[in-house]
Structure 1
Amino acid sequence: MLGLRGKSLVALLLSCALALIPAAFIAWQGVETVRNHFGLAYARNHTLLHREQIFAPVSRELALASRLANSVVTRRWLSNLDDAAARDLFFEEAEGYRADLRDHSYFVADSQGHYYYNDSKAPVSTTPRYTTAPDKASDNWYYATMRSPDAYNINVELSAQLKITNVWFNVAVQDGGRRLGVVGTGLNLSKFLNDFLATNESGVTPIIIDRNGAIQAHPDTRRIAYGSVSEKATEQQTAFGLLGSDAERASLRTAMAAAEAKPANPVDLWATVDGKRQLLVLAYIPDLRWHVLSIVDLRAAQVIDPGWATQALIAFVLLLAALLIVFGYAVERLVLKPLRRLQQSAQAISAGRYDTALPDETDDEIGELSRAFGAMAAKVQTHTAELEERVRERTKELQAANSSMAAAHKQIDDSIDYASLIQRAILPDRQMVQSLGAHHFVMWHPRDVVGGDFYVFLPDGDNCLLGVVDCAGHGVAGALMTMLARAAIDHAIKEVGARDPAAILARTDAAMRAMLRDTEMPRSLATNMDAGLVYVDRATGLAHFAGAKMSLYASDGVTTQEFPGGRRALGERRLGEYTNIVTELSGRTFYMITDGVLDQAGGEHGYGFGSRRFAELLQSIAGESLQDQAAAVEQALVNYRGDLPQRDDITILSFRFE
């Protein structure tokens, strides 16, 4: 809280502000006009300089690739692929080009789709690396180049076969009107971005886009439209996806057309990028069919020297400080000093010293305040004595109530801990270790002391039944539901046997409905549960799976396959249909999980772990031992969750039989 001195100074500050705000606003408008003028010139010069920096090395690579494509030796071999001498002569000549190319690499794809690639990392090879196929998305660049009327194209793409991401120069080899193949080279994308897009200038974002707006180079590689020569880029992989409105996107298309019409002149426009109004400047490179786009935040860029503004601000602060000192001295002498004496007396009375003398009475407002305060102090003294007696009585009552609450709280905690022991006792950990040993692992993490997840195991000779159940809710309510669910599953297995998981689910659903049919329960209390059961038949090498809103995952380390269960959980209003899915055991690791795994929030944005990320995790660890897999899954969930709390009960059951 501000005292009178502070409030007086604030009043002076407000008065100065009311006088200075209009002047500051006019000055600010002038500064903005100057900033925009010099900022536009700065952005244009930066874009033209960047265009030249890009054009020289890229055009050189394109020129070398075009010369190799138009070579008589190249056309002679690609016209007659069976001519071994022509092929050897081509590779001999191509090696001379490779020494001059920036990345010391080249490729050739003949009319039959055979793809050759040589670089400085290995001896020259005249054997194809692979053969392209029209039905492979990764080979679309080749067929798009062969179909295109253009002599060449440039695109950014990941080569799945070579495992490198480059800026590729694809030049068509032609003999008259007939296309014989594609020859070209590539620039490493990381080196390209570091060489041509790295900038130390704050507030400037350099981008390269093609004539369709697809991003070919960007400081954020996630926005690059890989393979744009053959596939349409997504909205987020185009320059239009950076802008905030349809009107701005239309303006950008108009600006691109103007830049292509007059490549020597840069074109500028204003647009909203990343929620801020920024200046965009375009410069077109006709030979490459690329636009160099500079996005400039004039407020972040150092367009004008802020030194003069600093000097003006210092002068303003000094003037304001002088005014505050003079005004503060006047307030201190006339108002604050008498009030301070009254304040000291009031503090003494508030501390219980009711015999403290008040300041000398005067005829002004402060004297009237002093007399009123004396009368109030007398009443406070009387009321204080009464209140102290009441407080002593109330304190005794509160102490007794706190003791009762502490005892009740301890009793509840002890009951929940005992319930946790009971719930852990129904889990078949010992039986699974004795029967399955290293062929399985289980991860069971209730969100609270007790939870709504549990797992089942039933040996059947050399075979066995495995299952995971996720009851609605967690904590005490979920734990109570697991008791009912476990009883229903045991009853179902006794009636239909262990070899038919779908029949067990259907009978469990019927048993749960029978248990709860005559029970009056609130509508808000969910009694449904997700479940997944697998019968492992080791004699036939098959697994029989049935699920109720729960899937079975299988991974061999190369791919991960999901076997989805029925769409309805057990105990829902509408009856579900459950069928057995039969799959082979050999060579794969199987996993059943509750939705607490996929729904666990974490990562940079707090999203759920998700099925895609889980499938990739399984694929990366499927070849390891199950004990190592358990540790890897545990660590992955901990790393992803970070500091966020566990959202739901988490259960994972995995098994593998050779």
Structure 2
Amino acid sequence: MNLRPRFLLLTTILIALTGAGLWLLTQQIALGVMQEWALRHFETQVKLEKTRTLQPIIREVTLARQFADSQVLRAWARAPDDKTLKAQALAEMENFRHNFADQSYFVALRESGDYYHNNANNEFAGAEYRYTLHADNPNDRWFYSIIEQNRDIHLNVNPDIPLGVTKLWIDVLLRDGDKILGVVGSGLDLTTFIEQVVSQTEAGISNLFFDHEGAIQVSRDPSQIDFASITKQARDKKTIQQLLSDPLERAQLQALLPQVMHNPGEVGSLYLTIDQQRYLAGVIYLPEIDWYEITLLELDTLLPLSTFNSIFVVSGVFLLLALLLFHLALNRYILNPLALLERAISQLRSGQHTVPLLPRHSSGEVGRLLRHFQEMAAATLLTRKQLEQKVQERTEALERLTQTDALTGLLNRRGMTQQLSLEHQRLQREGEPFGLIWLDLDHFKGINDRYGHASGDQALMTTANIITDVLRPYDHAARWGGDEFLILIRTDDQQLLDQLGERLCQAVAAQQEVLDQQQQPIALTLSAGSYLARNHDSLESILAAADQALYQAKRHGRNHHRSAT
């Protein structure tokens, strides 16, 4: 046989063997690339799922904490038989009910065991007391378990048998110092929460939430949920570990949990098999609610290997031709652009906020891949920016809520304290003076006692409106507490403070807006005390001086202004 046929036969055999080996190798490489891509994309996906999941919960947890911090509830819980305090507490509960997403609340008192509740339909208006909790009643065991564990906040999926509802309950301890007075909070309808948060995921992606013992708290499959976990022994709970048949995977998951708990925001990943389906699993700890979230990605659904068959064939042919004939072309049109693409992916993964620039002259599959990547990178960056903006807006909105008095719309004590601190720092740093006017409605308790709290609230709102009308845009006013108001004025002129104090006294005395039940005007007066801060004054001494001036105004007949020197 001549050399040509031999070389042709040898070349044919080598090409066949190389093609077969290349086919198998390409499949393995493609699988590795898919898994590598999934791992790179996975952390972002898990964090997005975390943010999307926590948005409806964080707001409710924040409101529940404010609910538990209510001085009105604490006062009533210390004296539950006081009818006046009880009426004030019920009004406070109703105010918070309208703010909760579910428009429902519950208050359970430790001393009496009395349980109060109202829902979105205002079904129990006037009958907020529902029943009394008993330690020997299994259905009430959740209440005593929370108190025994001394946990300030606890989330629990639990059916309330007497009320006939199943919710994701947000339980917060009502404290008076170290003393526990009861448990308060709200709930999110479990079915709605699952539909809106857990079930609204892409095909091939599912989420589970579980606690430190592995008890499943939220799942799109209600049969997996471990209801009333806090009242159960560990052996009776439905856990995430029970879904895993492989002991090695259970051990790997158990070892991963402490790592992510001690590194909030870090995503731990591993492969798990559930019901004979293999998943790429990402676990993240949610310190805001003290749960874990596990996101399961079905690689076969999201990235089926069969979709790459045509690419395998074409790539194999081109690779063989490139190995035999076009090594330089391979470097120019494939390897070099892919290296740039990998660099661009690394830049994007490292947090770069601009779309990486890639060559535009590339064509074919690689060119389309580069363009698709640029489009995907632009969409990812836009989504990230929008998400960060939404989180910032909601955080700022929550911050404003915590610094605003709900009745008058003025700053509350916390908000004014922050402004006072900033203004005092400016005084110490730049010598920019400011003044305080401390106002107090005269005989306000008598108005409440004689005309009712509605008239008292109207008096507070009218006074707040009068204050707002006379303030400049860069001044601040707050409801300091009860019937007291505090005004911060940027000025170095004591005469301006005196004029403003007298003007407010006259305006309140002249108002005709606060009416009694017969629609007759109720006479209002207020006393005012002012103080112009100096460089050497501490913030406490400034407040004390304004308070002393107010005291002098009340002592000398009320309904006028006094200044401190």
TM-score, length basis structure 1: 0.43
Distance 1:84 1:235 in 2: 43
Contact residue 224 and residue 237 of structure 1 kept, 8 A: yes
Distance 1:109 1:67 in 2: 16
Residue pairs, 1:428-447, within 5 angstroms? none
Return the letter of the residue paired with 2:263. K
Contact residue 22 and residue 316 of structure 2 kept, 8 A: no
Residue of structure 1 in register with 2:187 after alignment? 186
SS in 2 for 1:22: helix
Contact residue 270 and residue 278 of structure 1 kept, 8 A: yes
SS in 2 for 1:300: helix
Distance 1:277 1:235 in 2: 27
Contact residue 27 and residue 312 of structure 2 kept, 8 A: no
Residue of structure 2 in register with 1:276 after alignment? 277
Write 1 or 2 for the structure with the bigger share of helix. Answer: 2
Contact residue 213 and residue 234 of structure 2 kept, 8 A: no
Residue of structure 2 in register with 1:113 after alignment? 113
Aligned length, in residue pairs: 302
Q: Give the deviation of 1:24 after TM superposition.
A: 2.3
Contact residue 61 and residue 102 of structure 1 kept, 8 A: yes
Return the letter of the residue paired with 2:186. T
CA-to-aligned-CA distance 1:306-336 (integer Å, 9 cap, x gap) = 765335558999xxxxxxxxxxxxxxxxxxx
Q: Give the deviation of 1:230 after TM superposition.
A: 2.1
Contact residue 223 and residue 236 of structure 1 kept, 8 A: no
Contact residue 153 and residue 229 of structure 1 kept, 8 A: no
Return the letter of the residue paired with 1:39. A
Distance 2:145 2:154 in 1: 10
Residue of structure 1 in register with 2:486 after alignment? none
Q: Give the deviation of 1:158 after TM superposition.
A: 1.0
Change (3 A) 1:117 1:17: farther
Distance 2:32 2:126 in 1: 62
Change (3 A) 1:219 1:315: same
Contact residue 225 and residue 233 of structure 1 kept, 8 A: no
Distance 1:193 1:215 in 2: 13
Return the letter of the residue paired with 1:25. L
Contact residue 23 and residue 316 of structure 2 kept, 8 A: no
Residue pairs, 1:637-656, within 5 angstroms? none
Distance 1:125 1:152 in 2: 28
Distance 2:175 2:315 in 1: 73
Are residue 32 (structure 1) and residue 19 (structure 2) matched?
no
SS in 2 for 1:217: strand
Residue of structure 1 in register with 2:207 after alignment? 206
Residue of structure 1 in register with 2:150 after alignment? 149
Are residue 256 (structure 1) and residue 253 (structure 2) matched?
no
SS in 2 for 1:25: helix
Residue of structure 2 in register with 1:92 after alignment? 91
- Structure 1: runs of 5+ lacking an equivalent: 1-15, 318-658
SS in 1 for 2:106: strand
Q: Give the deviation of 1:38 after TM superposition.
A: 0.8
Change (3 A) 1:61 1:50: same
SS in 2 for 1:129: strand
Change (3 A) 1:95 1:302: farther
Are residue 67 (structure 1) and residue 66 (structure 2) matched?
yes
SS in 2 for 1:150: coil
Q: Give the deviation of 1:300 after TM superposition.
A: 1.4
Q: Give the deviation of 1:53 after TM superposition.
A: 1.2
SS in 2 for 1:282: strand
CA-to-aligned-CA distance 1:528-553 (integer Å, 9 cap, x gap) = xxxxxxxxxxxxxxxxxxxxxxxxxx
Residue of structure 1 in register with 2:42 after alignment? 43
Change (3 A) 1:124 1:302: farther
Are residue 52 (structure 1) and residue 51 (structure 2) matched?
yes
Contact residue 201 and residue 301 of structure 1 kept, 8 A: no
Contact residue 260 and residue 285 of structure 2 kept, 8 A: yes
Residue pairs, 1:625-644, within 5 angstroms? none
Contact residue 218 and residue 225 of structure 2 kept, 8 A: yes
Residue pairs, 1:303-342, within 5 angstroms? 309-312=309-312
Change (3 A) 1:301 1:96: same
Distance 1:93 1:192 in 2: 26
Return the letter of the residue paired with 2:152. A
Q: Give the deviation of 1:156 after TM superposition.
A: 0.4
Change (3 A) 1:56 1:200: closer
Q: Give the deviation of 1:271 after TM superposition.
A: 2.1
Distance 1:196 1:234 in 2: 29
Change (3 A) 1:171 1:200: closer
CA-to-aligned-CA distance 1:95-141 (integer Å, 9 cap, x gap) = 11111111100001112211111012215234421111222221111
SS in 1 for 2:231: coil
Distance 2:236 2:27 in 1: 37
CA-to-aligned-CA distance 1:262-313 (integer Å, 9 cap, x gap) = 1121111122222233211111111210111101121211489x76533555
Contact residue 244 and residue 271 of structure 1 kept, 8 A: no
Residue pairs, 1:494-509, within 5 angstroms? none
Distance 1:224 1:196 in 2: 15
Q: Give the deviation of 1:248 after TM superposition.
A: 1.5
Residue of structure 2 in register with 1:125 after alignment? 126
Return the letter of the residue paired with 1:71. S
Contact residue 103 and residue 120 of structure 2 kept, 8 A: yes
Contact residue 75 and residue 174 of structure 1 kept, 8 A: yes
Contact residue 73 and residue 89 of structure 2 kept, 8 A: yes
Identity of matched residues, %: 28
Q: Give the deviation of 1:254 after TM superposition.
A: 1.6
Distance 2:128 2:197 in 1: 34
SS in 1 for 2:202: coil
Distance 1:241 1:20 in 2: 45
Residue of structure 1 in register with 2:363 after alignment? none
Residue of structure 1 in register with 2:266 after alignment? 265
Return the letter of the residue paired with 1:33. G
Q: Give the deviation of 1:236 after TM superposition.
A: 7.1
Contact residue 66 and residue 171 of structure 1 kept, 8 A: yes
Return the letter of the residue paired with 1:155. N
Distance 1:50 1:73 in 2: 37
Change (3 A) 1:235 1:276: farther
Contact residue 107 and residue 116 of structure 2 kept, 8 A: yes
SS in 2 for 1:63: helix
Contact residue 42 and residue 303 of structure 1 kept, 8 A: no
Change (3 A) 1:92 1:202: same
CA-to-aligned-CA distance 1:443-466 (integer Å, 9 cap, x gap) = xxxxxxxxxxxxxxxxxxxxxxxx
Contact residue 118 and residue 125 of structure 1 kept, 8 A: no
CA-to-aligned-CA distance 1:583-620 (integer Å, 9 cap, x gap) = xxxxxxxxxxxxxxxxxxxxxxxxxxxxxxxxxxxxxx
Change (3 A) 1:236 1:169: closer
SS in 1 for 2:226: coil
SS in 2 for 1:299: helix
Residue of structure 1 in register with 2:101 after alignment? 102
Q: Give the deviation of 1:54 after TM superposition.
A: 1.8
Residue of structure 1 in register with 2:230 after alignment? 229
Q: Give the deviation of 1:20 after TM superposition.
A: 5.5
Contact residue 114 and residue 131 of structure 2 kept, 8 A: yes
Q: Which of 120-129 and 79-88 deviates more?
A: 120-129
Structure whose alpha-carbon radius of gyration is higher: 1
Distance 1:109 1:211 in 2: 26
Contact residue 236 and residue 242 of structure 1 kept, 8 A: no
Change (3 A) 1:193 1:233: farther
Distance 1:123 1:235 in 2: 35
- How large is the RMSD of aligned CA atoms in angstroms? 2.6
